[in-house]
Amino acid sequence: MILDLMATWCAPCEGMVKELRQVKEELGDSVVIVSVSVDIVHDTDDVLRSYAESKGITWTVARDTVGLASAFEVAFIPTLVVVDPEGRVSSTHVGYASAHEILQWVQEAAG
């Protein structure tokens, strides 16, 4: 699983969409991606729906209404959190990452 902690107004986050789309195309249903906006004031459900549609996002997009950003001590976005099949955090990355890097992290998490 990949948690993408982001916001719709964040330019590097927008760049990550292309990379995550490539990861999803390569791995298909073997990976779950969830983009979670940490800006719950600006990024309403309607804003997120429109953003996902305009960017061609095919995975789940949600608002951080449960405090994921706090739980993962997110100071900057985008932040990617890769979770292994047992539910443990395998890796965390702050900032832009290429599809190649993300694929490596997912493979490491899978064992």
N residues, the chain: 111
* The CATH fold of domain 2-110: Glutaredoxin (3.40.30)
Task: Using alpha carbons, select from 76, 77, 107 the residue that is nearest to residue 90.
Answer: 107
Q: Has residue 111 got a pLDDT over 90? A: no
Instruction: Specify the pLDDT at position 74.
Output: 93
Cα–Cα distances in Å, from 1 out to 58, 61, 64, 92, 110?
A: 15, 14, 17, 12, 10
- Domain segments of the chain: what residues? 2-110
pLDDT in tens, 74-109: 999 999 999 999 999 999 999 999 999 999 999 999
Picking from 77, 99, 95, 111, the residue whose alpha carbon sits closest to that of residue 33 is 99
Q: What is the pLDDT of residues 57-82, one digit of tens each?
A: 999 999 999 999 999 999 999 999 99
Q: What is the pLDDT of residue 1?
A: 96
pLDDT tens readout for residues 4-57: 999 999 999 999 999 999 999 999 999 999 999 999 999 999 999 999 999 999
